[in-house]
């Protein structure tokens, strides 16, 4: 990070996952290697192994009227934002100086499902007038902004499964540039739609579920056979460091760097050499002013697909990160698509806070022994810099570098 730029710190965390509501609920489950997997049956009788948020009550959170004016992805984003803001001490920042950035892959999937059903079964005049605004990719970001009266910049990356990390990185850029003093940023996804599940299944990306519920998501394991689709939202409050210090905020860590790239190679499959993700990692390290050897922990994107995990291992090795501890917490959470980057940033912040490393759940036979893939939780008393990666269909890659030194003087 250039010396003349404003520094960005994280002061609040919020998360909703298959384990329930709360950043610490997510962290406790991830570091214990627990699984949120369950079997879900759709109305047509098809089943899918997934991870669903169990305890969201939007009417209680937002009131019935406002809850009905959000898609489920928007409700998840607004709820995660609420927790993160509360955790940050409900900062009294002028509303025009605080914005929202939420990435998503599918936007308002539930809204679109309902609209298609209404159109086909009852006719065009039965399609809701809210279909378009709630179905758009900016629906989660604007739901968070509207609910919490955030009148600064609103960003809504739709960069597939890199979207949550992109949202956080782009939000930090706004703060560094001076166009905002704070941003609530992350990702949200509610993809448990029969159409989306059928599409992912047809693409060969989803696990067939034959390994058994609780053991299907197994990043970096040689027996992996596809990802477990999940819903969820993760959010962080980003603030300009000097303003956060002036108000006496608790600072979890500093966001040192952000990098992005594109494989420009294949519609869905990663470029096998890992060159594209490696460019994003290199850009993030350069932006942070950090060498690869300083990274103590990598929270990897690894989704439990054969091609994706293999390419990421190549990317990490060619990036000089073979000596870092590596785990993908999707073995616990499943893959929340555009919400994954937000959830995994929360996990990475907690790892820095507690100096503990979460394991790769279900890692029985590692893909490689050349990299330090964690099969159990570990204490990491010296951990102070970590990296988290997010990669998506279309070859989109994003990387964030975080440091626990952010609250130190100087």
- The neighbour count for residue 253, using CB atoms within 10 Å, is 25
Give 183's strand partners. Answer: 99, 238
- The answer to whether residue 335 is catalytic is yes
Centre a 10 Å sphere on the Cβ of residue 366 and count the other Cβ atoms it contains: 17
Task: Please state, in angstroms and rounded to a whole number, the distance separating the CA atoms of residues 99 and 85.
Answer: 12
Catalytic residue among 50, 106, 148, 161, which?
Answer: 161
Selected catalytic residue, list 106, 148, 174, 335 = 335
Residue 50 CA to residue 34 CA, distance in Å, equals 14
The closest alpha carbon to 90, from 302, 250, 225, 199, belongs to 250
Please indicate whether residue 106 is annotated as part of the active site.
no
Residues whose CB falls within 8 Å of the CB of residue 63, separated by 6 or more in sequence, listed in order: none
Q: Which residues of 372-406 are buried (b: 16+ CB within 10 A; e: fewer)?
A: bbbbebbebeebbbbbbbbbbbbbbbbbbbbbbeb
Establish whether 253 is a catalytic residue: no
Please list the active-site residues: 161, 301, 335
């Amino acid at each position: 990070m250039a010396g003349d730029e404003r520094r960005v710190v994280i002061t609040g965390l919020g998360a909703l996952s298959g384990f329930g509501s709360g950043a610490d609920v997510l962290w406790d489950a991830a570091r214990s290697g627990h699984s949120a997997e369950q079997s879900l049956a759709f109305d047509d009788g098809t089943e899918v192994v997934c991870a669903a948020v169990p305890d969201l009550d939007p009417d209680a959170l937002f009131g019935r009227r406002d809850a009905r004016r959000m898609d489920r992805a928007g409700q998840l984003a607004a709820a995660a934002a609420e927790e993160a803001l509360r955790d940050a001490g409900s900062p009294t920042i002028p509303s025009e100086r605080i914005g929202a950035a939420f990435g998503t892959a599918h936007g308002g999937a539930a809204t679109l499902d309902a609209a298609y059903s209404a159109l086909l079964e009852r006719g065009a005049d039965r399609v809701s007038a809210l279909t378009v605004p709630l179905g758009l990719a900016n629906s989660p970001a604007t739901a968070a902004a509207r609910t919490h009266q955030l009148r600064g910049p609103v960003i809504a990356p739709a960069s597939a499964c890199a979207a949550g990390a992109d949202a956080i990185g782009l939000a930090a850029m706004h703060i560094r540039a001076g166009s905002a003093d704070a941003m609530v940023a992350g990702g949200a996804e509610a993809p448990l739609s029969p159409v989306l599940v059928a599409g992912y299944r047809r693409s060969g990306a989803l696990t067939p579920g034959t390994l058994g519920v609780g053991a299907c998501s197994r990043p970096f394991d040689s027996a992996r056979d596809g990802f477990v689709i999940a819903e969820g939202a993760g959010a962080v409050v980003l603030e300009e460091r000097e303003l956060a210090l002036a108000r006496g905020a608790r600072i979890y860590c500093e966001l040192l760097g952000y990098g992005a790239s594109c494989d420009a190679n294949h519609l869905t499959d990663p470029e096998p050499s890992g060159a594209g993700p490696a460019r994003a990692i290199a850009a993030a390290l350069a932006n942070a002013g950090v060498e690869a050897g300083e990274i103590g922990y990598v929270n990897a994107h690894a989704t439990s697909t054969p091609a994706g995990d293999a390419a990421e291992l190549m990317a990490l090795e060619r990036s000089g990160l073979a000596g870092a501890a590596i785990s993908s917490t999707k073995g616990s959470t499943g893959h929340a698509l555009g919400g994954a980057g937000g959830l995994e940033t929360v996990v990475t912040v907690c790892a820095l806070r507690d100096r503990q490393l979460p394991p790769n759940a279900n890692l029985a036979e590692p893909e490689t022994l050349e990299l330090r893939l964690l099969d159990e939780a570990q204490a990491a008393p010296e951990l102070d810099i970590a990296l988290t990666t997010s990669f998506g269909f279309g070859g989109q890659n994003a990387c964030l570098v975080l440091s626990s030194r952010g609250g130190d003087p100087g």
